Chains A and B, each alone.
Chain A
Amino acid sequence: MVNLFKRMRKLKTILNVRVGTGAAILPSAASATKEFPAITRLHLTYARKMYGGHQGARHFWRNCLPRLKYHNPGIQMTVKQTEEQEGPAALTIYFAGRASNAASLTAAAVEDKHAPAPESTEKTAAVDLKNLDYKEIWNKVKMMTGAQEVPTTPEEEAELQKFEQMRQQSEKDRVRIATMRQAKKDQERMLQEARGEIEKLKQL
């Protein structure tokens, strides 16, 4: 098994699942208000490559969806990656009962045939994600659903800062080690060449 310290270091990255863009709690059945009804499911569809503005949608899946899933473990989230670059890049939000006003205002008429059909008690609102940055997508989603962002605690803040410092230090160290290795290699090469010359002299 991998060295314990390496594993520990790697495991610290789970902090990125707790904090960052998309770390928010969506309204559930318990916390639903009149303005923002509960969310039951999310579905994301996008094409595999970035041509045609599919990049933001993929980044949304990479960056925001794990955080959303962590803070809302009960909400089902599905992702469909298609091969159709001309096809839709859309996020379908399933509301319990009725869609929120903000959602019905911003909902676009995108045809997403990969999204599962809503049940009789669900209302859907689809967002067109083409040519949008993942942060823009997140802002839209937040506005439509009324998600409450989870504030970062001071400890998490400190830890983030520590990792940033470690990252900067590791860049410096990488340069330092690279020069050391290069110097050693140069030395060896020079010795090799010198030995080669002696051999040549011997042969003459």
Chain B
Amino acid sequence: MSSYSSRVPSVARSLLSPCRSPLRQGPMAPLLSSFQQVRGAKSNPQAQDKKTKEKSKKVKKASREYKQRDLKDMDQFSLCDAMRYIRAFEVGREPTASKYEIHIRLKSLKDGPVIRNMLRFPHSVQTESRICVVCPAGSKHEKEARAAGAVLVGEQEVFDNVKKGIIEFDRLICHPDSLEALNRAGLGRVLGPRGLMPSVKTGTVVEDVASRVEMLRGGTVYRERDAVIRLPIGQLAFSPEQLRDNLRATIEQIRKDAAGLNDRINKEIYEVVLSSTNGPGFSLNGEFKSDDSPDAASLSGL
């Protein structure tokens, strides 16, 4: 290798180097480039200058995106096979507590915008989520919210309870009229870490409280953190078909979200991992079943 590169003229070498794809950053790449640099330093100082510039540029570029490894070394599974393993890992666990989870890894910039949204599954994962609504007491929104199925409605009483540490809800929605009161109450410190603080961005400060409550009762909220979207996707008793439907709905929704972000931002799905409450993560290969997976009927139920 060294004898070869020393014989090739330096111009040719600099021509060769861009041939290496910047996406493929195996463990060998930095080793090689530094090695070549040393050789260049002895033979041609000008070429070395050029190269260091090139290299620093490259490093900067790489650090802006999340690292993408080549997935070809990873064992990937069809949905039925992954379910078979997961059900084996979950045997004897509390059947209502264990859930299938999905982790969707995206190709994304580190400082770019993130995906956050909610979706309704074709087959509901949670049975019911408790929703709290903050709106002026005695207004018509209060009545509507109660009618839509909110557990807790009010303004001052909610704030008092939260301050005392009694949080008996999974979602918090706020009406714009009460937003100021909510901000004055200083609950961000309590609600923020739990991801409950209402904000316009997450769509939890809305005029039409009632319809939002309806939507949230069957919906799941997700957001992208460090280029991964994690969300529960099914109960352990689900059949492979049910899980597949939910998975399809999720991926379609995320594709839509990614497309709707910005023209210049290009987000793609890079890996989909199926996991569960107690099980390891199985990278999915997109197939429904493989040749030696058991029939779908035996993979459902508890």
Contact = CB atoms under 8 A, between A and B. Distances in A.
Range class of the B interface residue count: 20 to 34
B263 interface: no
A13 interface: yes
B92 A77 contact: yes
A76 B302 contact: yes
A73 B74 contact: no
B280 A14 contact: yes
B280 A66 contact: no
A73 B75 CA distance: 21
B238 interface: no
B85 A70 contact: yes
B299 interface: yes
- The dominant DSSP class at the A interface is helix
B294 A8 contact: no
A54 interface: no
Contacts, number: 62
Main SS of chain B's interface residues?
mixed
**Most interface-central of A1, A5, A8 (chain B CB within 10 A):** A1
Nearest to A7: B281
B6 to A, nearest CB: 34
A10 B85 CA distance: 14
Interface in A49-86: 61, 65-70, 73-74, 76-79
Contacts of A70: 84-85, 88
Contacts of A14: 85, 280
Contact of A1 (B226, B280, B298): B226
B228 interface: yes
Interface of B: 69, 71, 73-75, 84-85, 87-89, 91-93, 103, 105, 226-228, 273, 280-283, 294, 297-299, 301-302
